[in-house]
Structure 1
Amino acid sequence: MDELFTEDSKVQDIIKDPAFGGFGRLIFPADRPIDDELTLENLDDILVWYSHVNPERSVSIVNEMKKRIQDGEQIFYDIYTEEEKKEDPAKENTGLFFFRGTPGEKVAIVNAGGGFAYVAAMHDSFPHMQELAKKGYNAFALIYRPEAQTACEDLARAIAFIHEHAEELQVDIKRYSLWGGSAGARMAAWLGSYGTAAFGEKEYPASGAVIMQYTGLYDVFGNEPPTYVCVGTSDGIASYQIMEQRISAIQSQGTPAEIEVFDGLGHGFGLGEGTVAEGWLDHAAAFWEEQTNEN
């Protein structure tokens, strides 16, 4: 095996690593400038609005990506055809990263935030994908065009892609879950409520659960999937009171919904490693499992 990456590895060297073929640039925010000297240790310099960025986790992710490739796995899938990308060049910076869990196991689709200005996958979706795959789930992380409408269109296409290729991917798409943090949480909620047909695809089955982190979305339409939320009390971007109101409204409809509020925690804590939120992903996965078992 080639030499593994370390915290001192330069981001530009990782992007250009031959193992990552034509998608290395999408491991990092494609919509933000990246200095030639930026290393994994200082990745938080470009992840605006995010706290608790863990260099050890970043190293672990890129090393696992490379190892999976060297072991013969395909970890990246285009969701648009070459013709579609030619018609809309912005679609070049889209796609699905995939960490395979147990063949035939359920699907989780994770959507990073970034204020619809960029995609913060290295902190806000790849770590989740990695941990979900460890649990045996087939975990995907979407790289989308960072505007609210196009982001939802890309998520709808990703859901369609996985449905249409479920046999090839060896996944169980029934009762799939949608995960997201910040802007990504809004995407998950909107697709959960509106469905794929509202964003340009044919109608595919609704998700079995929506998992949301730190976003200030209240909208409730009456057809929300079971929903889990976590947020901190010191989040200056996403109000925990608004999320409490949303969960209460969903519960009032008879739909399962839960919220965890973490005292003193701010925005963008990701997995919450080393914070009061550590372990929230286990609770969210258990919530999703409960909905699967009941249906």
Structure 2
Amino acid sequence: MQDSFPHALELSRKEYNAFALIYRPGAQTACKDLARAIAFVFTHAEELEVDTSGYSLWGGSAGARMAAWLGSYGTASFGEQAYPQPGAVIMQYTGLGEVYGNEPPTYACVGDRDYIADERVMRWRIETIRSQGTPAEIEVFPGLAHGFGLGTGTSAEGWLDHAVAFWEENI
């Protein structure tokens, strides 16, 4: 609740269409739910009055892993028709250390006091993606632990604007 809904609201204030997903537990099941949501948006784009070109996937913690996996593996890997890869993946505080070589442009952020998502793992992932020629960026915020959400009133304030700028540069 501290990630999805406030982020979607903030993005909608910036005149982007934004959807929040409540997904079922379990990595595979959650990824299937996200793949289904992507399929729904693509198949109902006209009805929803959304432009799907250059879309981005955002997530915090477990949701960030889902966004990264869908960005790399694609919707077809999770039981849906193949849809275009996102224009960017925006990840907050997750310890995902896997790199597959086909990541979309990726922005990540984390606090340096996160006891769940080690900033070194996130730095390594971003540096590895970047070394493969894909745009990737990370911000590490001093004094912040896991779950800082929008970061209002903290060292992370404004990270969402940085993430939007990164996304726009990579559409």
After TM superposition, the score normalised by the length of structure 1 is: 0.58
SS at match of 1:210: strand
Counterpart of 2:52 in 1: which secondary structure?
Answer: strand
What are the Cα deviations for residues 107-129 of structure 1, in whole angstroms up to 9, with x where unaligned? Answer: xxxxxxxxxxxxxxx21100000
Is 2:63 aligned against 1:184?
yes
CA distance in structure 1 between the aligned counterparts of 2:73 and 2:153, rounded to whole angstroms: 36
Output aligned runs, 1:276-287, within 5 Å. 276-287=155-166
Deviation, structure 1 residue 215: 0.4
Partner of 2:54: 175
Off by >3 Å, runs of 4+ in structure 1: none
| Residue 204 of structure 1, CA deviation | 0.6
* Equivalent pairs, count: 171
Q: Give the TM-score, by structure 2 length.
A: 0.99
* Deviation, structure 1 residue 274: 1.2
Equivalent in the alignment of 2:144: 265
Larger Rg computed on CA atoms = 1
* Cα displacement string for residues 207-245 of structure 1 (whole angstroms, at most 9, x for unaligned residues): 000000000011000000000000011000000000000
Question: Which residue in the other structure is 1:193 paired with?
Answer: 72
SS of equivalent to 1:228:
strand
Give the structure 1 partner of residue 41 of structure 2: 162
Corresponding residue for residue 27 of structure 2: 148
Query: What are the equivalent positions in structure 2 for 1:169-248 lying under 5 Å apart?
Result: 169-248=48-127
Q: Distance in 2 between matches of 1:250 and 1:149?
A: 23
The residue that corresponds to 2:132 in the other structure is 253
Q: How far, CA to CA, are the matches of 1:139 and 1:146 in structure 2?
A: 22
> Where in structure 2 are there 5+ consecutive unaligned residues?
none
Structure 1 residues 249-282: Cα deviation after superposition (integer angstroms, max 9, x where no partner):
0001100000000011100000011110011000
Task: Give the distance between the partners of 2:74 and 2:123, measured in 1 at CA.
Answer: 23
Q: What is the match of residue 138 of structure 1? A: 17
CA RMSD of aligned residues (A): 0.5
The amino acid of 1:128's aligned partner reads H
Please show how residues 14-93 of structure 1 align to structure 2 within 5 Å: none
1:46 match = none
Bigger RCO of structures 1 and 2 (CA < 8 A, at least 6 apart): 2
Q: Does 1:126 align with 2:20?
A: no
In structure 2, distance between residues paired with 1:156 and 1:272: 28
Show CA shifts across 1:134-171 (max 9, x none). 00000100111121111000000000000000000000
